[in-house]
C-alpha cells in the first residue's frame, strides 16, 4: 500500500510539472506580441498553435492530449464563457440562420466530406463519415477574437459564435451515432436518428434549463460575489456531466445554462458589481483554457504521419471547404427568403472562410475506438485539416475582411472612448478638488495650480473630442448607442432591486429592449 501511495504521488508530481510547463510556455507566448509588435497581427490562439508546432518539430512533447481531458475539463468553460456573453436579443434576431447552419449545415458538411473521400480517395464509407463528423464542428475562437479587435459587425460575430455553440452539440450527436453503427450498437434509419436527436437535445435543454433557472433563483436570495462566481463554475461542469450521464448532449446543456444565467439570472440575481466580477472571471478562465488547448494542438502534431496522409488531407480540405460554401450560401438564401434575415454575400463569404476547426474536432478524432483499423488515418487527417484551417484560414481572415470592406471603426471608437473616459475622470477630480479646498491646511496657491492644470487638460480633451466628432460624424451615433446601453442597464438594475426586495414578483427587464426600441428615433 505504501509503494502504491508513493507511486501515485510521483505520478501526480510529474503531471503537475507538465501542467506548469505548459502554463509557463502559454503565458510566455502571451507576452511575445508586447515585445515584437509585428506579432500583434496574429491572433493569440494562432500564435500558440505556431509555437506548439515549433515544439513538435524539435520533438518536444509537453503532455499527452487526452480526448476525455478536452471534452470534460476544457470544453465546458469554453462553451459557458461564449454563451454567457451572447445576448439573447442578438441571438433571437438570427436564430433561424444559426439553427440552419448548426443542424442542416452539419449534415451537409458530413455528407460532403464523406462523399468526397469515398469517391475520390476510395476510403470506406463508415471511415469517411467519421472524418466528416469529426470536422463538422466549427471552433472560430481565433476569428471572433479578431472580429472584436478589428471592429467587425456584432452581427457577424453573433452568427459565427451562435453556429459554433449549437453545432458542437449536433456534431457530437452525429459522431456518436456514426461510431456506434460499425460496432453494431445502433441502427441507421431515419426514425431512429430523429428520435435519438430529439432525445439528446431535449435532455440537454431540460437539464440546462433546470440548472440555469435554479441558480438564478438561488442568487436572488443573497449577494455574495465569490459564492455566485463559484456557482457559475459548478453549474458549467455539473450540467455537462449530469447531461452526459443521462444520455443527453452536455454541450447543449452547458450552452442552455449559460444563456439563461447570462441573460436572465445575472440580471435578476446579481448586482452590477457581481456581474462584472463573474464576467471577468470567465474571461480569465477562457483565456487560460484556450492558452493550454491551442498550444497542445500544435504540440501534438506528428509530421511524419501527416506526410503519409497528405493526399487524404488535401482531398478532405477541398471537400470540406466546398461543403461549407454550399451550406452557408444555400442556407443563408433560405433564411433570407423565409425570415428576411438579409445576410449579405460579403458576410456569407466570411462565414464560409471563417469556419475554423479546433479542439472539439481533435477530441472527437482521438476518441475513435482502437478497434477501428484506420484510427490513425482518421486522427492524422483531422489534425491536418484543423492545422490548415487554423493557420491558413485563420491568418487570412483579416485580409478577407479588408478586401470585402467589412472592417469596423473599433480603433477610432476606442480612441474616442479613451478621451471621454479621461475627461470624465478629470472632471470628477476637479469636483473633488472644489470640496477639498476648504480642508484646513490646504495651500491656496497649490489649489489654484491644480485647478488650472486639471481645467487645461479637460479643455484639451474637449478639443480632441470635438475634432473627432467633426471628422467622423458616425461617432455621434456610437455615443447615442452607448448612452442607450447605459440607460437599459440602469433600468434593469432598478427592476432587479425591486425583485430582490420582494416588491415585484416578476422581472421586467425582458421588456426593456422593446420599450427602448419603440422610443428610439430612427
Inter-residue contact 47 to 33 (CB < 8 Å): yes
Q: Where is average pLDDT lowest: 5-14, 171-180, 384-393, 481-490?
A: 5-14
SS (H, E, C) 326-369: HHHHHHHHHHHHHHCCCCCHHHHHHHHHCCCCCHHHHHHHHCCC
Look at residue 194 in the predicted model and tell me its pLDDT: 79
As a whole number of angstroms, the longest Cα–Cα distance in the chain is 90
Inter-residue contact 223 to 236 (CB < 8 Å): no
* Cα(214)–Cα(261) distance, integer angstroms: 10
Confidence at 139, pLDDT banded by 50, 70, 90: confident
CA dihedral 256, 260, 262, 267 (to 10 degrees): 180
* Cα(217)–Cα(448) distance, integer angstroms: 54
- What is the CA angle 177-178-179, rounded to 5? 90
DSSP 8-state class, residue 408 = -
Length of the chain in residues, anyone? 522
List Cα–Cα distances, 101 to 67, 88, 123, 254, in angstroms.
25, 18, 27, 19
**Between helices 190-219 and 250-260, what is the axis angle to 10°?**
30
Check pLDDT > 90 for residue 61.
Answer: no
Check pLDDT > 90 for residue 254.
Answer: yes
SS (H, E, C) 208-258: HHHHHHHHHHHHCCCCCHHHHHHHHHHHHHHHHHHHHHCCCCHHHHHHHHH
pLDDT in tens, 176-229: 888 887 766 656 666 777 787 888 889 999 999 999 999 998 888 888 888 999
6 CB contacts (<8 Å, ≥6 apart)? Answer: none
The secondary element (H helix, E strand) that includes residue 126 is helix 125-134
Look at residue 11 in the predicted model and tell me its pLDDT: 62
Mean of pLDDT values over 488-514: 62
Inter-residue contact 320 to 138 (CB < 8 Å): no
Q: Rounded to two decimals, what is the model's pTM?
A: 0.76
Look at residue 517 in the predicted model and tell me its pLDDT: 45
Round the average pLDDT of the chain to a whole number and report it: 82
**Residue/partner pairs of 56-61 with CB below 8 Å, 24 or more apart:** 56/298, 56/299, 56/300, 56/301, 56/302, 56/303, 57/303, 60/299, 61/299, 61/300
Higher confidence at residue 36 or residue 391? 391
Phi-psi map region of 43: left, alpha, beta (phi>0 left; psi -120 to 50 alpha): beta
pLDDT more than 70, % of the chain: 84
Helices (H), 58-104: 67-68, 75-84, 88-93, 95-99
Confidence at 269, pLDDT banded by 50, 70, 90: confident
* Cα(246)–Cα(249) distance, integer angstroms: 9
Check pLDDT > 80 for residue 68.
Answer: no
Please give the distance of CA 160 from its chain centroid, rounded to a whole number: 9
Inter-residue contact 278 to 32 (CB < 8 Å): no
Check pLDDT > 90 for residue 313.
Answer: yes
List Cα–Cα distances, 370 to 204, 232, 377, in angstroms.
28, 36, 12
* Cα(415)–Cα(464) distance, integer angstroms: 10
| Cell numbers that stand for 78 in this block | 469554453
Look at residue 516 in the predicted model and tell me its pLDDT: 47
Higher confidence at residue 360 or residue 37? 360
Query: Three-state DSSP class for 61?
Result: coil
Inter-residue contact 131 to 178 (CB < 8 Å): no
pLDDT in tens, 429-453: 888 888 877 777 777 787 888 888 8
Percentages helix, strand, coil for the chain (3-state, rounded to 5) are: 80, 0, 20
Amino acid at each position: 500500500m505504501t509503494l502504491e501511495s508513493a507511486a501515485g504521488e510521483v505520478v501526480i508530481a510529474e503531471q503537475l510539472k507538465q501542467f506548469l510547463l505548459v502554463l509557463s510556455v502559454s503565458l510566455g507566448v502571451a507576452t511575445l506580441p508586447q515585445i515584437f509588435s509585428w506579432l500583434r497581427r496574429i491572433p493569440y490562439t494562432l500564435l500558440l498553435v505556431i509555437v506548439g508546432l515549433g515544439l513538435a518539430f524539435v520533438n518536444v512533447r509537453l503532455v499527452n492530449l487526452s480526448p476525455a481531458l478536452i471534452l470534460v475539463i476544457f470544453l465546458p468553460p469554453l462553451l459557458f464563457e461564449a454563451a454567457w456573453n451572447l445576448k439573447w436579443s442578438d441571438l433571437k434576431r438570427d436564430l433561424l440562420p444559426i439553427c440552419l447552419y448548426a443542424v442542416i449545415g452539419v449534415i451537409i458538411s458530413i455528407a460532403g466530406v464523406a462523399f468526397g473521400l469515398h469517391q475520390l480517395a476510395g476510403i470506406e464509407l463508415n471511415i469517411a463519415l467519421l472524418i466528416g463528423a469529426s470536422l463538422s464542428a466549427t471552433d472560430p475562437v481565433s476569428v471572433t477574437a479578431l472580429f472584436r479587435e478589428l471592429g467587425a459587425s456584432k452581427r457577424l460575430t453573433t452568427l459565427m459564435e451562435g453556429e459554433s455553440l449549437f453545432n458542437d452539440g449536433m456534431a457530437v450527436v452525429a459522431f456518436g451515432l456514426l461510431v456506434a453503427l460499425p460496432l453494431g450498437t445502433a441502427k441507421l434509419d431515419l426514425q431512429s436518428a430523429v428520435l435519438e436527436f430529439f432525445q439528446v437535445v431535449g435532455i440537454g435543454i431540460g437539464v440546462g434549463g433546470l440548472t440555469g433557472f435554479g441558480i438564478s433563483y438561488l442568487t436572488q436570495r443573497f449577494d455574495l460575489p465569490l459564492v455566485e462566481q463559484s456557482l457559475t463554475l459548478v453549474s458549467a461542469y455539473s450540467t455537462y456531466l449530469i447531461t452526459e450521464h443521462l444520455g443527453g448532449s452536455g454541450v447543449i446543456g452547458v450552452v442552455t445554462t449559460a444563456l439563461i444565467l447570462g441573460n436572465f439570472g445575472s440580471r435578476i440575481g446579481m448586482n452590477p458589481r457581481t456581474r462584472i466580477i463573474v464576467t471577468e472571471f470567465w474571461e480569465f478562465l477562457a483565456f487560460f483554457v484556450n492558452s493550454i488547448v491551442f498550444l497542445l494542438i500544435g504540440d501534438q502534431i506528428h509530421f511524419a504521419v501527416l506526410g503519409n496522409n497528405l493526399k487524404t488531407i488535401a482531398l478532405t480540405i477541398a471537400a470540406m471547404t466546398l461543403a461549407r460554401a454550399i451550406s452557408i450560401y444555400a442556407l443563408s438564401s433560405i433564411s433570407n427568403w423565409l425570415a428576411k434575415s438579409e445576410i449579405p454575400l460579403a458576410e456569407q463569404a466570411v462565414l464560409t472562410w471563417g469556419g475554423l476547426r479546433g479542439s472539439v474536432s481533435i477530441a472527437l478524432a482521438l476518441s475513435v475506438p482502437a478497434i477501428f483499423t484506420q484510427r490513425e488515418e482518421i486522427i492524422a487527417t483531422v489534425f491536418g485539416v484543423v492545422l490548415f484551417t487554423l493557420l491558413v484560414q485563420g491568418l487570412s481572415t483579416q485580409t478577407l475582411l479588408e478586401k470585402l470592406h467589412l472592417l469596423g471603426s473599433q480603433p477610432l471608437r476606442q480612441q474616442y472612448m479613451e478621451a471621454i473616459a479621461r475627461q470624465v475622470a478629470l472632471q470628477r477630480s476637479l469636483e473633488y478638488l472644489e470640496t477639498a479646498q476648504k480642508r484646513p491646511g490646504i495651500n491656496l496657491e497649490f489649489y489654484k495650480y491644480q485647478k488650472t492644470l486639471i481645467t487645461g487638460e479637460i479643455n484639451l480633451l474637449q478639443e480632441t473630442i470635438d475634432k473627432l466628432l467633426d471628422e467622423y460624424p458616425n461617432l455621434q451615433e456610437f455615443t447615442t448607442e452607448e448612452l442607450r446601453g447605459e440607460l437599459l442597464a440602469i433600468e434593469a438594475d432598478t427592476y432587479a432591486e425591486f425583485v430582490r426586495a420582494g416588491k415585484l414578483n416578476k422581472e421586467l427587464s425582458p421588456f426593456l429592449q422593446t420599450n427602448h426600441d419603440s422610443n428610439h428615433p430612427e
